[in-house]
Amino acid sequence: MTRGARLVVLGKQGAGKGTQCVRLSHYLAVPHISTGDMLRAAVKAGTEFGQLAKAYMDRGELIPDDVVMGIVEERIAEPDASRGFLLDGFPRTTVQAKALDEMVRPNSLDLVLDLDVPTELVLKRLSSRRVCSTCGANYSLESPPKLNWTCDLCGGEVVQRRDDTETAIRRRLDLYEESTAPLLEFYSERNLLAVVNGVGTPDEVMDRLVKVVEMARDRKK
């Protein structure tokens, strides 16, 4: 595997995918494509698609396959993804995984990383998460902004996302187990899956991910 690899990162919501994907995208020199970020941008813009997505997100439910697949296919067809990409939040079902195979042809995925974190830990992380309503910067009850829930980066209001309530979080985790966990078997059967321990400091987790990526690179030589 060389620079420009096509990677997927799986893991429960709150497993730290966003943080690690940003780091990995810089390491591999490929764009970090987060379906969650794309969906929230559409919601904030109030587009027709955004309004449709908002109803599902507020209930902690998955967006329908055809809607998500359309937005991902459009994104990975853009010039900056021609050398590769790092997908965060997609695929979430085997139907989406099979569709992704078709999207990337005649190429194929190089590696699928599963960031493994216990459910109770991600529940704690998500319920304490706070987000800047303007720029999207992440904070938590343990690591708040310096001044009265005002974003350190842009001065925007730092709030709890509506889909980060305990009820919505538990619903998302249940849906993950029902719909997304089977992806582990799907990709394991194709010898693409690497499970990585996601517990630890961001640097510790990143070191583990890099080792796995480098091992996959060596096997491709």
Domains of the chain and CATH, by start:
6-117+166-220 (3.40.50.300), 118-159 (no CATH)
Record the tokens describing residue 215, joined without a space.
């091992």
The pLDDT tens digits for 106-151 are 989 999 999 999 988 888 888 888 999 998 888 989 889 998 899 9
Q: pTM above 0.85?
A: no
**Secondary structure of residue 200 in the 3-state scheme:** coil
**Secondary structure of residue 39 in the 3-state scheme:** helix
Q: How far is 160 from 78, CA to CA, in rounded Å?
A: 32
The pLDDT tens digits for 50-79 are 787 788 878 877 788 877 888 788 888 889
Q: How far is 139 from 176, CA to CA, in rounded Å?
A: 24
User: Is the Cβ–Cβ distance between 61 and 6 less than 8 Å?
Assistant: no
Q: Which pLDDT value is given to residue 3?
A: 64
Catalytic residues: 17, 92, 129, 161, 172
Share of the chain above pLDDT 70, in %: 98
Q: How far is 37 from 40, CA to CA, in rounded Å?
A: 5
Would you place residue 1 in the very low, low, confident or very high pLDDT band (cuts 50, 70, 90)? very low
Q: Which pLDDT value is given to residue 219?
A: 79
89: left (phi over 0), alpha (psi -120 to 50) or beta: left
Q: Please report where in the chains the tokens 């587009």 appear, as a residue.
A: 47
Q: Indicate if the pLDDT at residue 98 is higher than 60.
A: yes
Q: Which pLDDT value is given to residue 120?
A: 86
How does the average pLDDT of the chain come out, rounded? 87
The pLDDT tens digits for 12-52 are 888 888 889 999 999 999 999 998 787 777 778 887 777 87
Q: Which pLDDT value is given to residue 221?
A: 66
* Amino acid at site 176: Y
Strand ranges, E, within the chain = 6-10, 32-34, 85-88, 111-116, 129-132, 138-140, 158-159, 193-197
